[in-house]
Amino acid sequence: MTLVTNSPVWRPYTQHALQPGAIKIARAEGCWLEAEDGGRFLDAISSWWVITHGHRRPEITRAIKDQAELLDQIIFAGFTHEPAESLARRLVEITPEGLDYVFYSDSGSTCVEVAIKMALGYWRNRGETRARIVALEHGYHGDTIGTMSTGARSPFNASYEPLLFDVARIPFPDEGREQECFDALEAACKAGAAAFVAEPLILGAGGMLVYSASNLREMKNICARNGVLFVADEVMTGFGRTGTLFACEQAGITPDIACYAKGLTGGVLPLAVTMCGKEIFDAHLSDDRARAFFHSSSYTANPIACAAALANLDIWEHGGAREAVAKLCAMQAERIARFESDSRFINVRRLGTITALDLATPGRGYLASIGLDLLRFFNARGLLLRPLGQTIYVLPPYCIEPEELDLLYAAIDEAAAEFRG
Ligand SMILES: *Cc1c(COP(=O)(O)O)cnc(C)c1O
pLDDT digit string (tens) for 147-157?
A: 999 999 999 99
In ligand 1, which atom is closest to the CA atom of 142?
Answer: 4
CA 130 – CA 118 distance, rounded (Å): 12
| Residue where a domain terminates, one of 318, 351, 377 | 318
80 located within any domain? yes
Residues 212 and 243 in one domain: yes
Q: Map residue 91 onto helix, strand or coil.
A: helix
> Over the stretch 301-312, which tens digit does the pLDDT of each residue have?
999 999 999 999
Residues 311 and 328 in one domain: no
238 located within any domain? yes
19 located within any domain? yes
User: What CATH number corresponds to the domain at position 371?
Assistant: 3.90.1150.10
Number of domains in the chain: 2
Q: What is the dihedral of CA 78, 81, 86, 92, to 10 degrees?
A: -20
| Residue where a domain terminates, one of 256, 290, 318 | 318
Distances (CA, A) of 100 to 92, 108, 283: 5, 20, 14
Confidence bin at 366 (pLDDT 50/70/90): low
> Over the stretch 261-312, which tens digit does the pLDDT of each residue have?
999 999 999 999 999 999 999 999 999 999 999 999 999 999 999 999 999 9
Share of the chain above pLDDT 70, in %: 98
Count CB-CB contacts under 10 A for residue 402: 11
Cα angle 250-226-119, degrees, rounded to a multiple of 5:
80
pLDDT score, position 372: 87
Residue type, position 358, single letter: D
Residues 312 and 364 in one domain: no
Residues 387-412: what's their mean pLDDT?
97
Residues 58-86: what's their mean pLDDT?
98
pLDDT score, position 367: 64
Residues 213 and 303 in one domain: yes
Give 115 Cα–ligand 1 centroid separation in angstroms: 13
Residues 301 and 259 in one domain: yes
Query: Nearest-CA neighbor of 268 among 89, 18, 50, 27?
Result: 50
In ligand 1, which atom is closest to the CA atom of 48?
Answer: 1
Confidence bin at 57 (pLDDT 50/70/90): very high
Q: Map residue 359 onto helix, strand or coil.
A: strand
First to last CA, the chain: 28
> Over the stretch 190-229, which tens digit does the pLDDT of each residue have?
999 999 999 999 999 999 999 999 999 999 999 999 999 9
Among left, alpha and beta (phi > 0; psi -120 to 50; other), residue 401 is beta
Residues 241 and 115 in one domain: yes
Minimum mean pLDDT range among 19-23, 235-239, 252-256: 19-23
Share of the chain above pLDDT 90, in %: 94
For the chain, how are helix, strand and coil distributed in percent, rounded to 5?
Answer: 40, 15, 45
Q: Contact 101/281 with Cβ under 8 angstroms? A: yes
Residues 123 and 38 in one domain: no
Integer-rounded Cα Rg, in Å, for the chain is 21
Confidence bin at 420 (pLDDT 50/70/90): confident
Give 140 Cα–ligand 1 centroid separation in angstroms: 7
pLDDT of 421 higher than 90: no
Q: Contact 1/23 with Cβ under 8 angstroms? A: yes
Residues in the chain: 421
387 located within any domain? yes
Best probe residue, ligand 1, of 236, 297, 351, 386 (max atoms within 8 Å of C-beta): 236
Q: Contact 379/41 with Cβ under 8 angstroms? A: yes
65 located within any domain? no
Q: Contact 135/294 with Cβ under 8 angstroms? A: no
Residues 74-101: what's their mean pLDDT?
98
In ligand 1, which atom is closest to the CA atom of 270?
Answer: 7
Q: Which residues contact 203 (CB under 8 A, 6 or more apart)?
A: 136, 138, 139, 140, 172, 209
261 lines ligand 1 (CB under 6 A): yes
- Domain carrying residue 242: 71-318
Best probe residue, ligand 1, of 45, 46, 138, 140 (max atoms within 8 Å of C-beta): 140
* Residues 139-171 as b or e (16 or more Cβ within 10 Å = b): bbbbbbebbbbbbbeeebbeeeeeebeebbbbb
141 lines ligand 1 (CB under 6 A): yes
CA 249 – CA 89 distance, rounded (Å): 19
CA 378 – CA 364 distance, rounded (Å): 19
Q: Contact 196/229 with Cβ under 8 angstroms? A: yes
Give 109 Cα–ligand 1 centroid separation in angstroms: 5
Mean pLDDT for all residues in the chain: 96
User: What CATH number corresponds to the domain at position 218?
Assistant: 3.40.640.10
Query: Nearest-CA neighbor of 112 among 233, 270, 281, 193?
Result: 233
CA 187 – CA 377 distance, rounded (Å): 46
Confidence bin at 371 (pLDDT 50/70/90): confident
CA 181 – CA 412 distance, rounded (Å): 33
In ligand 1, which atom is closest to the CA atom of 236?
Answer: 15
Active site residues: 13, 140, 233, 262
pLDDT score, position 388: 93
Q: Strand locations in 45-117, DSSP E? A: 101-105
In ligand 1, which atom is closest to the CA atom of 144?
Answer: 9
- Closest Cα to atom 15 of ligand 1: 236
pTM for the whole thing?
A: 0.97
Residues 104 and 245 in one domain: yes
Residues 111 and 216 in one domain: yes
| Residue where a domain terminates, one of 318, 341, 373 | 318
pLDDT of 105 higher than 90: yes
DSSP conformation letters of 331-356: HHHHHHGGGTT-TTEEEEEEETTEEE
> Over the stretch 376-396, which tens digit does the pLDDT of each residue have?
999 999 999 999 989 999 999
pLDDT score, position 370: 85
Give 372 Cα–ligand 1 centroid separation in angstroms: 22
pLDDT score, position 102: 98
146 lines ligand 1 (CB under 6 A): no
Best probe residue, ligand 1, of 235, 264, 393 (max atoms within 8 Å of C-beta): 235
64 located within any domain? no
Give 263 Cα–ligand 1 centroid separation in angstroms: 11
Residues 190 and 337 in one domain: no
63 located within any domain? no
In ligand 1, which atom is closest to the CA atom of 205?
Answer: 15
Residues 99 and 212 in one domain: yes
108 lines ligand 1 (CB under 6 A): yes
Give 261 Cα–ligand 1 centroid separation in angstroms: 8
Residues 14-25: what's their mean pLDDT?
94
61 located within any domain? no
pLDDT score, position 363: 61
Give 106 Cα–ligand 1 centroid separation in angstroms: 11
Q: Which residues contact 17 (CB under 8 A, 6 or more apart)?
A: none
pLDDT of 368 higher than 90: no
Confidence bin at 365 (pLDDT 50/70/90): low
Residues 306 and 328 in one domain: no
